[in-house]
Amino acid sequence: MAEKKITLSGIDPLEIYGARNTKLDLIKSYYPKLKIITRGSSITVLGELEVIEQFETKLAVLIAHFNKYNRLTDSNIDRLIMEDHDVVLELNDAIIVHGNHGKIIKARTANQRKLVDLALSKDMIFAIGPAGTGKTYTAVALAVRALKNKEIKRIILTRPAVEAGENLGFLPGDMKDKLDPYMQPLYDALNDMIPAEKLKAFIEERIIQIAPLAFMRGRTLDNAFVILDEAQNTTIQQMKMFLTRMGRSAKFVVTGDLTQIDLPSRQKSGLRHSLDLLSKVNDIGIVYLNEKDVIRHQLVMQIIQAYKQEQLKEKESGKHNSKN
């Protein structure tokens, strides 16, 4: 058994340990094979040398994060420990765009960075992952950056209004009133990145267009950054219709969560079908995000993991029953 003594310097130990050692307990939970003893700014670690070295490396990453952002939350700890440390350090330069009030919009996880990198080399990208992984937000940030850099002339954001069966006529108000509830997540992202008056002007001038998927039929979308959100709720026909709208000098990003399909049970998701069909097309980029990429409340990560485990159990149960 090896022993290593680590001294925290240049940081208040409370920032790493947390009130009543809550942060320290969280960190310890990732290293059950180590015995970690703290006394003031001194940390003594006992265990296998390789695991101790991993712990020391991650501790340095946590300290670097606090020194840069002046905060270290439980969610930060979860993400930074679970990700490869080399990738985490690279993320410091992953700024996508500067938003409102000086807000920095950046890739915050390894897979978000993959999405950003793919946008540089691919014209069509699929970003697949559960809720809270930032796939739509990152895609919108990429679109805003492209518009600011004059790489494209317009942004088009769309999603299938499956909750209303894309039959919106029975809802009160004009078309904008009918559509806004389904498009709100896209508005929320844009409001973080573009000043309110400018955003209003962009929408009025149709530089930014937000519409349900049904409105894409018959169009050729060129010189545009186009995002299809909630793509798991498209039918095969809708997905084919959308993908074939792609014009010259266009960038397409398709986002979706295959665990939240709201289509009738016998109807195959257009997203799932397109992934099966197009996965070997070299010029199409695909990135899969997971619970490690969740940037909402730390409970969201735990909830996603619980549902994931349930799905795995159901699959195993189904296999067992089919054998019998």
Cβ–Cβ under 8 Å, residues 134 and 185: no
CA 268 to chain centre: 24
Q: For 168-210, how does the pLDDT look when each residue is reduced to its tens digit (9 = 90+)?
A: 555 556 556 666 676 788 889 999 999 989 999 999 999 999 8
**Cα separation of the two ends of the chain:** 48
Instruction: Say what the pLDDT of residue 61 is.
Output: 87
Low-confidence ranges of the chain (pLDDT < 50): 85-92, 164-166
List domains and CATH numbers for the chain.
Answer: 2-82 (3.30.1370.10), 94-293 (3.40.50.300)
- Residue 278 exposed, middle or buried by CB count within 10 Å (0-12, 13-18, 19+): middle
Instruction: Say what the pLDDT of residue 164 is.
Output: 44
Instruction: Say what the pLDDT of residue 168 is.
Output: 53
Instruction: Say what the pLDDT of residue 18 is.
Output: 92
Question: Which pair of tokens denotes residue 109?
Answer: 């996880």
Q: For 56-79, how does the pLDDT look when each residue is reduced to its tens digit (9 = 90+)?
A: 989 988 988 888 777 888 888 888
Question: Which pair of tokens denotes residue 39?
Answer: 């006394």
Residue with tokens 């509830």: 181
Instruction: Say what the pLDDT of residue 174 is.
Output: 58
Q: Nearest-CA neighbor of 186 among 199, 169, 171?
A: 199
C-alpha 168/C-alpha 181 separation (Å) is 11
DSSP-assigned letter for residue 268: P
Cβ–Cβ under 8 Å, residues 208 and 155: yes
Four-CA torsion 221, 226, 231, 236, nearest 10 degrees:
20
Instruction: Say what the pLDDT of residue 212 is.
Output: 83
Instruction: Say what the pLDDT of residue 87 is.
Output: 46
Question: Which pair of tokens denotes residue 165?
Answer: 């069966």
Cβ–Cβ under 8 Å, residues 11 and 18: no
Task: Name every residue whose Cβ is closer than 8 Å to that of residue 61 and which is 6 or more positions away in sequence.
Answer: 80, 85, 88, 89
Instruction: Say what the pLDDT of residue 266 is.
Output: 86
Q: What φ, ψ does residue 98 adopt, rounded to 5°? A: -95, 120
